[in-house]
């Protein structure tokens, strides 16, 4: 099912429309005034980078850890143990460490259903 975004007026906003690259979106005659970014089409790789993971990280590894987190606040030690068990640490980028990844994952628990739907 296509998401239709038509005849809207966006003014003084950071981002008018933001959606994952694989979303089925029909964007029509909209007006953007003084917006930082009118339309932001995101790729899943941007999530990897924000967590300190390389862009070539297998999505299924991140999906498994996020499924473990669910929408429950888990202790960072539990998240670290799960990330280690699926081999997620070996995909850390050169500019990140395990603390970057684990604290990032821990902060996402309330958004996990939406993230899983986008992955």
pLDDT band at 14 (very low <50, low <70, confident <90, very high): confident
Phi and psi (nearest 5°) for 91?
Answer: -100, 10
Residue 1: pLDDT above 80?
Answer: no
Cβ atoms 44, 119 nearer than 8 A = yes
Residues 49, 38: one domain? no
pLDDT band at 23 (very low <50, low <70, confident <90, very high): confident
Range list of β-strands (E), 13-102: 15-20, 25-27, 31-33, 37-42
Cβ atoms 15, 5 nearer than 8 A = no
How many domains, in total, are found in the chain? 2
Residues 78, 107: one domain? yes
Q: Which long-range contacts (CB under 8 A, 24 or more apart) does 55-60 make?
A: 56/91, 57/88, 57/91, 58/91, 59/119
Residues 19, 65: one domain? no
Average pLDDT over residues 86-99: 93
Domain with 9, as residue range(s), is 3-42
Residues 28, 81: one domain? no
What per-residue confidence (pLDDT) applies to 69? 94
pTM of the entire structure? 0.62
Mean of pLDDT over the chain: 89
Average pLDDT over residues 5-22: 89
Residues 35, 49: one domain? no
What per-residue confidence (pLDDT) applies to 44? 59
């Amino acid at each position: 099912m296509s998401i239709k975004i038509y005849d809207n007026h966006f003014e003084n906003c950071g981002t008018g429309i933001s959606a994952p690259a694989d979303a089925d979106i029909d964007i029509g005659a909209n007006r953007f005034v003084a917006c930082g970014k009118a339309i932001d089409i995101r790729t899943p790789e941007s999530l990897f980078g924000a967590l300190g993971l390389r862009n070539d990280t297998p999505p299924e590894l991140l999906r498994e850890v996020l499924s473990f987190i669910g929408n429950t606040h888990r202790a960072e030690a539990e998240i670290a143990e799960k990330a280690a068990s699926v081999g997620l640490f070996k995909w850390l980028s050169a500019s990140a460490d395990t603390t970057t990844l684990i604290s990032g994952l821990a902060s996402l628990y309330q958004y996990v259903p939406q993230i899983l739907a986008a992955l």
